[in-house]
Amino acid sequence: MVVTTLPASAPMVVRTTEVPDPGPLLELLPEDFPMAWVRQGEGVVGWGQAARFDTIGANRFVAADRWWRRMVGTAVVRDEVRLPGSGPVAFGSFAFDDVPGSSSLVLPDTVVGHRSGRWWVTTIDVTGNLPGGAALPDVSRARRPAAVAYADGAHSGTEWEAIVAEAVRRITAGELEKVVLARDLIAESPEPIDLRWPLQRLSDGYPHCWTFSVDGMIGATPELLVRRERGLVTSRVLAGTIRRTGDDEHDLALAASLARSSKDLEEHEYAVRSVADALAPFCSSMNVPESPFVLHLPNVMHLATDLAGVTDSDASSLALAAALHPSAAVGGTPTAVALDVIREIEGLDRARYAGPVGWMDGRGDGEWGIALRSAEVSGSRLRLFAGCGIVAGSDPAAELAESVAKLVPMRDALSS
Ligand SMILES: C=C(O[C@H]1C=CC=C(C(=O)O)[C@@H]1O)C(=O)O
């Protein structure tokens, strides 16, 4: 399925203007259809839909990449900033699996960006006219949500523990090494949620994560699938998790035990290997640190590795994300077997959870995270997701507790 508002004969006209500091990016968003990719105050936000591309199936990344290349190939661009994220920008959110689920790239009609002490406004017109200037609209303050009620999603906690136990049985029997299993939780509000409320809370509470909002998928992910910026490719791989207790001294001891835990180190190694192998064909050199560091988030701590490579390929950031997806952090090892096990025993439509989410500019540079610690929003109903990497030593009750900890950011963000 392809839906685009672009008149066939008109090239898009794009104008990027440098502006003085307009204030926090997330506070510039109107309530209607906010798009965002923000970390520590920097990033891009957008609104309005100049054009969009919707697609389904195994070809979703290639089809979306081709559409974007075609759009920017004929665009008339006046960009006085020339940084990654200036000029035309599309926000995207992709389904985890080939079926079911739809994926989209959305081209806002206004984008505001901030990076390294510079701010810019990009306006886009697809009707062949000169786009409007850099004046930003006055917007209302984010609306506090009414009390949200929670209910089990596809499975109760006990049912999910049984699914995890089945995965451990298969791993122990030698069918595979690791599989990531997910669960969902339903949140219902009496009225549609103003997405700017949870977005602002996520960004304040989890400044080291990438807070995103794309086409009804919102969240704050700690995991960067890939960033491509002028020939430099980077990726933050996470796997191996421990819950925080709230007691700093105890948490430091837990972090030290995480860094020594053979179960977590083994799980982490799978994930790093899968990312390094997928990036290798695109990179002329790559730096893969030998051991991970511990990433401290307010709710959990993760083993983390930052990979960096130099690319001379013209593959866009989206094409790189496609090559990396699904990494062992959301699929498992070996990937094909893990995906079959997920399809067979998970009993959940992941939709866009754990799929790539992010943005791309006209040069193909961009950032794609993995849609974790996230929710799919339709009006007043949300599906919250969390998943856990299961290996031979996994204990179902501990994995359930870990999934509960991973749901905390979204639950907190929805509280009034
Ligand atoms: C699948 C999720 O987390 C992944 C990312 C980091 C650590 C993970 C873990 O330790 O299990 C998961 O692989 C999720 O948060 O939904």
How much is the ipTM here?
Answer: 0.98
Cis-peptide into 88, omega within 30 deg: no
Give distance in angstroms: CA of 279 to centre of ligand 1.
Answer: 20
Model-wide pTM > 0.95? yes
Q: Mutation test of ligand 1: which of 221, 372, 402, 403 has the most ligand atoms closer than 8 Å to its C-beta?
A: 372
Residue at 278 is within a domain:
yes
Residue at 252 is within a domain:
yes
Q: pLDDT tens-digit profile of 295-349?
A: 999 999 999 999 999 998 999 999 999 999 999 999 999 999 999 999 999 999 9
Range of the domain at 229: 13-414
Residue at 254 is within a domain:
yes
Give distance in angstroms: CA of 329 to centre of ligand 1.
Answer: 6
When pLDDT is averaged across residues 34-47 and rounded to a whole number, the result is: 98
Residue at 40 is within a domain:
yes
Give yes or no: 269 in active site: no
Q: Is 60 exceeded by the pLDDT of residue 139?
A: yes
Q: Dig out the tokens for 182 from the structure.
A: 């997910």
Residue at 1 is within a domain:
no
Q: Dig out the tokens for 342 from the structure.
A: 């997920």
Backbone φ and ψ of 343, nearest 5°: -60, -35
Give distance in angstroms: CA of 73 to centre of ligand 1.
Answer: 37
User: Across the chain, what does the average pLDDT equal?
Assistant: 95
* pLDDT of amino acid 9: 64
Looking at the structure of the chain, the number of domains it has is: 1
Residue at 175 is within a domain:
yes
Nearest atom in ligand 1 to 386's CA: 16
Band of pLDDT at residue 129, cut at 50, 70 and 90: confident
> If phi over 0 gives left and psi between -120 and 50 gives alpha, with beta otherwise, what is residue 74?
alpha
Using alpha carbons, list the distances in angstroms from residue 241 to 161, 324, 389, 398.
17, 21, 9, 11
Instruction: Please give the helix or strand (H or E) that residue 240 lies within, else none.
Output: strand 232-243
Q: Are 19 and 121 in contact (CB under 8 A)?
A: yes
Q: Is 90 exceeded by the pLDDT of residue 135?
A: no
Residues in the chain: 416
Of residues 413 and 127, which shows the higher confidence score?
Answer: 413
Check residue 140 and report its DSSP letter.
P
Cis-peptide into 100, omega within 30 deg: yes
Nearest atom in ligand 1 to 238's CA: 6
Q: What is the CATH number of the domain that holds 317?
A: 3.60.120.10
Q: Are 208 and 39 in contact (CB under 8 A)?
A: yes
Q: Is 90 exceeded by the pLDDT of residue 131?
A: no
Give yes or no: 266 in active site: no
Residue at 245 is within a domain:
yes
Q: Which residue has the tokens 């009390």?
A: 147
Band of pLDDT at residue 8, cut at 50, 70 and 90: low
**Side chain identity at 228, as an amino acid letter?**
R
Residue at 407 is within a domain:
yes
